[in-house]
Copies of this chain bind each other. A is one copy, B any other.
């Protein structure tokens, strides 16, 4: 019996998620396979099952990891600002994030079950942040909820379309975002 040297890699979950995020950002989520991830980490695919429950488990963990990072970026951008300035600030931070970490953002949308409690919780922090920022406008009744839905729709739709190359006109995208957001919040305030 030969003593094949099996160096105990001793992987931490965060290193695994970091490696998975790198693959996702560089090549897209469809390239985040157990085979590719294992290769990058220098281990065999079945070994990954010691850290999470298969591909579905990995995607869930990546979604939560991504939502946490996105929340972090957004909340940082909202420090010390309020009103229009705050809404514009988190809007730009949101789009910046999807540009810098497209794969992580993609992972955010690829949880096997969006109804899952942990995923919901990670996402709800972002919703609550939006609520807090929009409450500055003192909208009445359910209007805050409608406004949050609108803001999220704009940010997600804009980012998604931009990532897919959906905007073909040669016209500055940051300018578009600013104009769109300003129009929306002004329109919400007036009704």
- Check if A143 sits within 8 Å of B179, measured CB to CB: yes
Q: Contact check: which of B115, B165, B183 meets A184 at CB < 8 Å?
A: B183
Judge whether B180 and A150 touch: CB under 8 Å: yes
Q: Report which of B114, B153, B176, B191 forms a contact with A149, defined as CB distance below 8 A.
A: B176
B160 and A154: CB pair below 8 A?
no
A7 at the B interface (CB under 8 A): no
From known contacts A153-B153, A154-B150, A183-B188, infer whether A109 and B168 are also in contact, taking CB-CB under 8 Å: no
Q: In the complex, are the beta carbons of A153 and B164 less than 8 A apart? A: no
Say yes or no: is A79 at the interface (Cβ < 8 Å to chain B).
Answer: no
Knowing A156-B161, A161-B156, A190-B186, the reply to whether A180 touches B109 (Cβ < 8 A) is no
CA distance A169 to B123 in the complex (A): 13
Number of copies: 2
The answer on a CB contact under 8 Å between A145 and B157 is no
Please tell me the number of chain A residues within 8 Å of chain B, measured between CB atoms: 42
Tell yes or no: A9 within 8 A of B by CB: no
A146 touches B123 (CB 8 A): no
Q: Is the CB of B146 within 8 A of A175?
A: yes
Interface presence of A52 (CB below 8 A)? no
Task: Say yes or no: A153 contacts B168, CB within 8 Å.
Answer: no
* A140 part of interface (Cβ distance < 8 Å): no
- Name the B residues within 8 Å of A158 (CB-CB): 149, 153, 157
CB contacts (< 8 Å) of A160 on chain B: these are: 156-157, 160
Give 11 new A-B contacts, CB below 8 A, not counting A145-B169, A154-B157, A186-B191: A142-B171, A145-B176, A146-B171, A149-B169, A150-B176, A153-B153, A153-B154, A153-B157, A153-B158, A183-B190, A187-B190
Which residue numbers of A lie inside 8 Å of B, CB to CB? 109, 114-115, 120, 123-124, 142-143, 145-146, 149-150, 152-158, 160-161, 164-169, 171, 173, 175-176, 179-180, 182-188, 190-191
